[in-house]
Amino acid sequence: MCGLTDRVDSAPAPVKSFFLPLRVETLRAASPLSSLELTFDADRNQLFTAWNAIANLTGKVKVTIRAESEKGFDKAKLQNGVLEPLREADLIE
């Protein structure tokens, strides 16, 4: 599932919602998109591809990660392979 939301201002107003693939008319709108929200499921390889595309966005990007594992996550691998590198990059505390 992948969706795109155009938020024109911060006032609580109706939000235009579009679902990918983007319509050409959406990208040709008179006012530029000021906010973008994408949601998708990705495996490891798709995540690397997506990350390069996300890096093309200008401005700040907020990243929210939700991961699931049927077996559960190995605590040592989670700590050493995920949390510690993110802490060292000053991305999480």
- The full set of domain ranges for the chain reads 3-68
Confidence at 90, pLDDT banded by 50, 70, 90: very high
* Mean of pLDDT values over 33-61: 87
CA distances from 90 to 21, 26, 84, 85 (A): 34, 36, 10, 9
Question: Contact at 8 Å (CB) between 37 and 3?
Answer: yes
Q: Measured in whole angstroms, how far is the alpha carbon of residue 11 from the centre of its chain?
A: 23
Say which amino acid occupies 59. G
Say which amino acid occupies 15. V
pLDDT digits (tens, 9 = 90+) for 6-16: 444 444 444 44
Confidence at 2, pLDDT banded by 50, 70, 90: very low
28's tokens: 């040709």
pTM value surpassing 0.75: no
pLDDT value for 40: 86
